[in-house]
Amino acid sequence: MKKTTPKQDLLRGVWRENPVLVQALGLCPTLAVTNTVANSLAMGLATFFVLMGSSFLVSSFRRWVPREVRISTYILIIATFVTVADMTLAAVVPDIHKALGAFIALIVVNCIILGRQEAFASRNPVGRSLLDAAGTGAGFVISLLLMGGIREVLGQGTFLGVPLLGPHYEPWVIMILPPGGFLTLGVILLAISAIERRRASRAERAAAGTMRRAA
């Protein structure tokens, strides 16, 4: 694997390899629990915490875990942190815990987390693994907040429960229903692909210009 700088380890997951918006991983929670900003934030932070904790442990144990049982080891480690997150949410924000329901337990099978253990934490030192986990986790939180923000503002006229658009706002009911999740994600992916394409074509034109000048 090519050597990367710590800065790259941290920032890669936020944009260039954003787990949801670029790699299209972890779509189940992204679609299911982003109907409000509060739900998105809770889900994002819980996943962030689980990712950080598991990456730390997996990376620390990487020399002692036999290859044959590595996946089950990861799952056990992840499940431990998910249980901690589950109980913490239930104690601190019982309403949100209720709203998220089974999706908190399902963080165990979130492929973003398992993917980072397999691809990064199990092969890299603890410090770099934590940076990678923080970047990926932040990318996930940002994606969920983007989804939750759009859906709550359109679907209820509020942001984090605070009315934004006045008492006469007509809510777009569809946005807080499942179809709204698919529509929002699709529009975000469309926008990102448009941005990336524009950037690529600009880079291409710049490269062509340089070549002409060199010749």
Partner 1 sequence: MTAGERLVTASPHLASGHTTPRIMWTVVASLVPVIGAAVWFFGPSAVFVIGAATAGALATERVFGRAGSLMDGSGLITGLLLGLTLPAGLPIWMAFVGGAFGIGFGKLIFGGLGQNVFNPALLGRAFLQAAFPVAMTTWPAEQVSWWTLRGDTFALPLMAGKAADVVTGATPLGLMKFEQQGTTLSHLMLGNTGGSLGETAGILITLCGLYLALRNYLNWRIPASIFLAVLVFAGLLHQLDPGRFPAPLFMLFSGGLMLGAWYMATDMVTSPVTNGGTWVFGAGVGFLVVVIRVWGGLAEGVMYAILLMNALVPFINRATQPRVLGTRERSGA
Q: How far is the CB of 151 from partner 1 (least distance, A)?
A: 12
Q: Are 29 and 107 in contact (CB under 8 A)?
A: yes
Query: Is residue 165 a contact residue for partner 1 (CB under 8 A)?
Result: yes
Query: Is residue 11 a contact residue for partner 1 (CB under 8 A)?
Result: no
Phi (first) and psi of residue 163, to 5 degrees: -60, 130
Q: Are 140 and 25 in contact (CB under 8 A)?
A: no
Query: Is residue 2 a contact residue for partner 1 (CB under 8 A)?
Result: no
Q: Please count the residues of this chain forming the interface with partner 1, following the rule CB under 8 A.
A: 13
Q: How far is the CB of 39 from partner 1 (least distance, A)?
A: 20
Contact segment (CB under 8 A) with partner 1 among 35-43, 117-125, 160-168, 201-209 equals 160-168
CA angle, 87 as apex, 81 and 89 as ends, to 5°? 100
Single out the residue of 174, 188, 189, 192 in contact with partner 1 (rule: CB under 8 A).
174
Q: Decide: residue 188, CB within 10 A, 0-12 exposed, 13-18 middle, 19+ buried.
A: middle
Single out the residue of 179, 199, 200, 206 in contact with partner 1 (rule: CB under 8 A).
179
Q: Distance of CA 117 to CAs 21, 113, 122, 140, 209, Å?
A: 20, 6, 6, 16, 42
Query: Is residue 213 a contact residue for partner 1 (CB under 8 A)?
Result: no
Residues near partner 1, by CB under 8 A: 165-166, 168-170, 172-175, 177, 179, 183, 190
